Structure 1
């Protein structure tokens, strides 16, 4: 297998691209995205399937190809340069993948689970010619049990078909369009996060749901298991054992049965998580039968609480752990010149968060995109609060229009994908806010969806919606103001936030996606002019904070394709701001009261 990969690797190279980040040059088929993809439920027995796969583009309803077009580097989308292909697919076609895998002999007798970090948008899986299942959803992680389709020789011939209509369909797509321009970007089709396989016992741990309870000094853990028949005579021999660990020392334990009981761990004198102190506890979960370990996963959690309440002046503020906090950061698109949706590496993805942290920001609004789970892990451990959007889809409305009316199919799909996203990210410590709608994009049944989101996760705030078409629901009254800043009046039950402002543009030659058609809300010619204008905006925020502004999100972290209003260029090679000059102005925003 290794020799075949080496031979194919010599044939692969990135497609020609206008610009690339510095990490793109280090990408190879042998080293692409090797990190364990699920930080909050880790096992030892796993196989990374990133690398070179066969690919083909056919008509939408074609059968499995007899011949293949060439090699594609997974997990980069087919439209990207780092895939080695850089071809558009279109809604009239299907994208196919194929790879043969030899499974380790020591996995014999265990269940074989094939995992996908994300595939955009609708996919079908075959193993050794047998159709295993389908999945719709471009943002959420999912998996298939492929045990029964694998041969006795432990060989798996994996074939995948993907169909994605981009902006010709109703599905959540974020900023992808078939014809990129302005604030709309290149389409993304197919696998764009890690593909991997793991071996698990017949009876195993399937998922964790972790809820900190700061007020009572506890953490609640719901463990879902698989492969255990609740009605069998031996079911009562299975038990779950939990251990909370701090600095490599077990501080508390709990145990219980495998059938839906919520286990509680007492956390005495809990150290609380915050952007200034991103303290994480380790968690170990073990499944036993007759006191013999069957399966074990490791995870982590933190003790923290986000909520809204009135301060001493009777103004609603955002609180963390009983203390008011002003959220300040950037609108973050999460796009890359070489990989589009897919960062070139874990290091590159982490870099964006580290730059914002160094600039003195404490929040990222992840804009109409969901990142790989490792992104949120880095936010958890670095202390970066996340304001998470739902990727938009279906039709858009203007500020004065009524909500759109979705078809039953479109609404069912929206609810399924949003619920999957919320459930997938529920355990991540850093997420403080869910945002189902932005600026009327795909907005329907507004207050019903906001309330439903709150039911899915009562532990976070719900922004409803961000900008434009407010209907009075949610926890936040959200203004978009370019260049701004500005705010809505403080309300009785909601906080006033500035979900987008700024957008100051500076095109830098040699770092542009397009030579022409570059766009910003306001454009400047030099870094000095940009820095002066930026500081002028930031110095206006303290007065608004004193009046009740609870959060402000600047547009944006980086340039993206034709947009040149980033703090960094699209290739991340230039930080346009002078960090030493702007950081003190950012830090003043967190003083109480602000200067």
Structure 2
């Protein structure tokens, strides 16, 4: 059997000695009978799992029998899970190892002490409460059948599983912070042992060594800065700008070597982009220059595999498709995406707004659960240059009374400041769409389809601030506009049925020509507005019962990508306006 998704799952932190555990696992519903087979990392509700039924089950079981490769003998073995929805208990050879809570984030555990020389057995009991609205679930519906803006739920393992062999002394984590203004890289490191004596950091650009730093280690954690040698660039006659942008996604490679005295204990490969995101005088800046964001709302669903991309190549195809239509990024909507997607966005030059999947009932349990996943998301994805904005809340989901209730406003403020306490390098949105509190951007969801109304609405700042998107104020009561950049981050949603896939949208087109004109009517007023600094169109593809994508569910553009690109760049208008 071919093993699906067999690429290295964590390209920001690479070791050579690893083994994929994707492929066939034993599986069962409700009890540990293991009477079925499932293909990991696809959830049982998906076709590619080999099961493909959508009826809810609160408990599922997985079992995998493995023999470790001989070359891993004598080393520490780390077991990694990309994401398991929602909570799971893990046993290895009948020894309880750990419990993990949170359906969207990666976790890892050292299983060395439980392993045997012969066959080893991994067992997971996974719990996913299908009707619990206090847990972060994003677009996964709590009813049995999809409807409206909600889709088929996912239960169980939905990102890659793998094991990794490491020395007892190894690099546990690094945070990489590029400093464009001083042409430096900040490195914060965590090690597994205080026996390590030094950490060597080598930085390369196009395989040419640009900087070397060797740090003597006095304890397990620390930080240092590495200056990139600009004289070397001149000596090599490198004239190009070395910053990372969507138009020119230049990346620096990094090699970390951990030493115990003279012995190399661990080698890890990574990369970074020399880029800066900032807001100055009400302008969104990329690398100290104003930058207009043209984004797509991307739900990250596939017909045969739901939240899991069918293949690694599907990430590449989606980015290439979006760029061909004239977009420079996506807002990953209600989903923490697979690190493989973020890797390709880094490599191919594609902005990403990192967003937290919502829960839908406010309570103390809700606050604890969503805050934990929020911090884990920022920890895991901090190093990716493609991520330029963090979004913890969307359309007041989970905080439906935020307009007036102080505790819900405080939660919004806390989520912003938690992000800023962990990451000072990116803007944070407090509540995407409306009822903002203290965020760095004012973002608006507006599904108006009439061109003249849109033109008038965004012609002045006063009109914008008076607007009530979704019947709600832009600012929660007690909060004032502080000069933040304005972006329209959901709009359009034009439905157009191509083929036999039926569904709904926010307005409807009846032909290719009508679809192009309607798209022009919602895009052109935003491009013309002196106050709008970017947009996010709803949406990239049709998803289940929604047919408001620029592409069908199987990624076929509904009209030529050249027309969409020309409209996005202000180079096209309908015949009756030429």
Shorter-chain TM-score: which interval? 0.7 to 0.9
Q: Match for 1:254 among 206, 210, 213?
A: 213
- Alpha-carbon distance, 1:482 to partner: 0.2
Equivalent residue number for residue 392 of structure 2: 436
| Alignment pair present for 1:494 and 2:453 | no
| Alignment pair present for 1:345 and 2:331 | no
8 Å contact kept, 2:297–2:536: yes
Deviations 1:300-354 (A, max 9, x none): 00110001112xxxxx111011100011111110001100111110111221111
Separation in 1, partners of 2:558, 2:436: 34
Separation in 2, partners of 1:587, 1:110: 55
Equivalent residue number for residue 41 of structure 2: 75
Separation in 2, partners of 1:344, 1:301: 27
8 Å contact kept, 1:496–1:549: yes
Equivalent residue number for residue 134 of structure 2: 170
- Alpha-carbon distance, 1:106 to partner: 1.6
Q: Match for 1:332 among 270, 295, 298?
A: 298
Equivalent residue number for residue 51 of structure 1: 23
RMSD: 1.6
Aligned length: 522
Separation in 1, partners of 2:86, 2:51: 19
| Alignment pair present for 1:111 and 2:76 | yes
8 Å contact kept, 1:483–1:504: no
SS at match of 1:161: strand
Separation in 2, partners of 1:163, 1:259: 35
TM-score, normalised on structure 1?
A: 0.85
TM-score, normalised on structure 2?
A: 0.88
Q: Equivalences for 1:379-398 in 2 at 5 Å?
A: 379-395=345-361
SS at match of 1:278: coil
SS at match of 2:369: helix
Separation in 2, partners of 1:582, 1:126: 51
Structure 1: state its 5+ residue gaps: 1-8, 10-29, 311-315, 396-403, 590-595
Q: Equivalences for 1:365-380 in 2 at 5 Å?
A: 365-380=331-346
SS at match of 1:394: coil
Q: Equivalences for 1:30-45 in 2 at 5 Å?
A: 30-45=2-17
- Alpha-carbon distance, 1:438 to partner: 0.5
8 Å contact kept, 1:89–1:95: no
Q: Equivalences for 1:25-424 in 2 at 5 Å?
A: 30-58=2-30, 65=32, 67-88=33-54, 90=56, 93-153=58-118, 155-177=119-141, 178-179=143-144, 180-226=146-192, 228=193, 230=194, 235=195, 238-256=197-215, 257=217, 259-269=220-230, 271-310=242-281, 316-395=282-361, 404=362, 406-407=363-364, 409-424=365-380
- Alpha-carbon distance, 1:450 to partner: 1.6
Q: Match for 1:532 among 517, 520, 523?
A: 517
SS at match of 1:307: strand
Separation in 1, partners of 2:497, 2:121: 47
Separation in 1, partners of 2:564, 2:88: 46
Deviations 1:199-229 (A, max 9, x none): 0001111111100011111001112111x2x
| Alignment pair present for 1:456 and 2:422 | yes
Structure 2: state its 5+ residue gaps: 231-240, 400-407, 466-480, 572-578
SS at match of 1:73: strand
